[in-house]
Amino acid sequence: MASVACVSLLSEAEFGCEHLTAQLSQDGGAGDQFRASFIKTHNALAPRSRSGESATTQKGLRATTFLKPKYMCLTCSDVFVNGDRKAHTDKTGHQFYMESRSRTLFCQGCGDFVYDYGLERLRSSKAESTLKLAQKRRFSESSTDELYVRSNANKRSCAKQGVRGLFNLGQTCYLNVILQTLLHDPILNTYFLGSGHQSHDCTLSDCIACAVAEAFADFNSSDKAEGFAALNLLLASWRSSSALAGYQQQDAHEYYQFLVDKLHSSTDGHHENHEKGCPCFFHKTFYGKLRSSVTCDKCGNVTRTDDPMVDLSLDVQVQAKKRAMGGAGASSTPTLSGCLESFTSPEKLMAGVYNCSGCGGSAQKATKQLRIKKLPAILCMQLKRYEHTFSVSEKLEGRIDFPMSINMLPYTTNPNSRADKSRYIYDLSSAVVHKGKLDAGITTSTAGRVMRFWILFNDDQVTSVTEADVLSADAYLLFYNLRSLAGAPSQ
């Protein structure tokens, strides 16, 4: 049974935020006055119960007729739209508002909705006992139920503790594995469960970010253990791309590229031209920069081009052939580090491909090299297992060694710098696996890290696996997260 001592230790979670703590903890009856104002505003925004009666509230607010929410100030009862709250707070110092549709409390100091246990008790109480309840003690030592709730309360933004699968809606495993990867990423959870994309303020039709935000809310807000369906994300994807529409099998890597691009374009203030250095959240999270350097073999002139990258496509076939030709044997297992070394190694260009400006624009032999100019926070690497020729397409079967953690500094434009290597360390967060033939019978699953554990998601089937199981998988896509965002390199 919970004790009073346990309750006092958790008293920091008593109020919804620090600003609410200061408001409700004031002496001289100010806290009770705020509680009374909370209930008054709550009742004012409630629709009338009797038929034929108007739903109009004070200040002319009609809560049931707004497609977009309004916000009523708890202090002065003035009503504002989303963009006018800050100006009112700056002018008056009033920080708390109630949203018209769901009647939830918004703190302008936090810039987000807040939940307070005590205020919710007032909301659910009978009208005649509301003010009396507001004046009661915060804790009832004789109430075992209250002590139990308090001692098991925490400050986590959502109550979801477990994992859930995603139902296959008809050849939608490609969508499921990418969405599962995003759902368990801590950076994206902070964004979508915080004050990130605000669906109620979005004016885009068939907005992908709205559909993804809904999936995050659905996944994290329910205590159900069974899977759920990302139907709205599927429909929004179909409407946004005719190539995705229908129940044919799609490639998970191509869907990841599509999804990242749509998330980026759904953000206010984003730049379509990535070369300008877009400041939006998704660009900073998913996009890096790749530098291509071409050196003329005759005069040494170097031509550099920087292009945005959302992933690295690593040719496993090339590395496998190089290892076989080098005498290591065809059975040698390709490695991720070997693929990265091949990707960033100098490559001789065919004669006549490169026209050198240093040689008067004449065609010259040259050497090309790719290096990473800027690394993203979430790094996706595709292991290209497929090789296409005029006569046949084949898939490289078998395992490719990849580590739980990797240092990306050797593959950047400054591989030999004395930079702090810890700023370039990435940790594996998800591994996507393809099983089956190239053109048919492909099933896709993903193994994702959930806290300290690894979980295998195969649509709505969820299985616990070991780290060894993950490392032995025939990975197709690998997702790595930058270990320390505070020390992220700014190339």
Q: What CATH number is attached to the domain comprising 36?
A: 3.30.40.10
The pLDDT value given to residue 68: 65
On whether residue 201 sits in a domain, the answer given is yes
pLDDT above 80: residue 356:
yes
On whether residue 181 sits in a domain, the answer given is yes
H-type helices in 290-434, by residue range? Answer: 316-325, 336-343
Quote the domain boundaries for residue 239.
Answer: 172-266
On whether residue 209 sits in a domain, the answer given is yes
On whether residue 199 sits in a domain, the answer given is yes
- The model's confidence at residue 437, banded by pLDDT at 50, 70 and 90, is low
- The model's confidence at residue 434, banded by pLDDT at 50, 70 and 90, is confident
On whether residue 262 sits in a domain, the answer given is yes
- State the total domains in the chain: 2
**% of the chain residues with pLDDT over 70:** 74
**What are 9-30's pLDDT values in tens digits?**
333 344 568 888 888 888 778 8
Strand duo 443-450 + 453-458: pairing: antiparallel
Please indicate, yes or no, whether residues 189 and 256 belong to a single structural domain of this protein: yes
| Cβ–Cβ < 8 Å for 334, 343 | no
- The model's confidence at residue 155, banded by pLDDT at 50, 70 and 90, is very low
Cα(178)–Cα(444) distance, rounded to whole angstroms? 10
Domain end among 220, 244, 266? 266
Instruction: Of 93-107, 270-284, 385-399, give the range with the top mean pLDDT.
Output: 93-107
Return the H-helix or E-strand segment holding 401: none
On whether residue 58 sits in a domain, the answer given is no
Phi-psi region of 283 (alpha: psi -120 to 50; beta: other; left: phi over 0): alpha
DSSP classification of residue 325 = H
Range 199-216 average pLDDT: 85
**What are 274-292's pLDDT values in tens digits?**
666 788 889 889 999 999 9
| Cβ–Cβ < 8 Å for 121, 143 | no
Please indicate, yes or no, whether residues 116 and 181 belong to a single structural domain of this protein: no
The pLDDT value given to residue 120: 79
Range 178-187 average pLDDT: 92
Give the relative orientation of helices 208-221 and 173-183 as an angle to the nearest 10 degrees: 70
On whether residue 100 sits in a domain, the answer given is yes
Phi-psi region of 93 (alpha: psi -120 to 50; beta: other; left: phi over 0): left
Please indicate, yes or no, whether residues 111 and 184 belong to a single structural domain of this protein: no
The pLDDT value given to residue 21: 83
Q: What is the CA radius of gyration of the chain?
A: 28
The pLDDT value given to residue 150: 57
Q: CB under 8 Å to 316, separation ≥6 — which residues?
A: 334, 339, 383, 384, 385, 396, 400
Domain end among 241, 266, 291? 266
Please indicate, yes or no, whether residues 37 and 102 belong to a single structural domain of this protein: yes
Please indicate, yes or no, whether residues 119 and 180 belong to a single structural domain of this protein: no
The pLDDT value given to residue 133: 46
First to last CA, the chain: 55
User: Any idea how long the chain is?
Assistant: 491
Per DSSP, the three-state class of 265 is helix
Domain end among 233, 266, 299? 266
**What are 240-263's pLDDT values in tens digits?**
999 998 888 888 999 999 999 999
54 phi/psi in degrees, rounded to 5: -70, 145
On whether residue 385 sits in a domain, the answer given is no
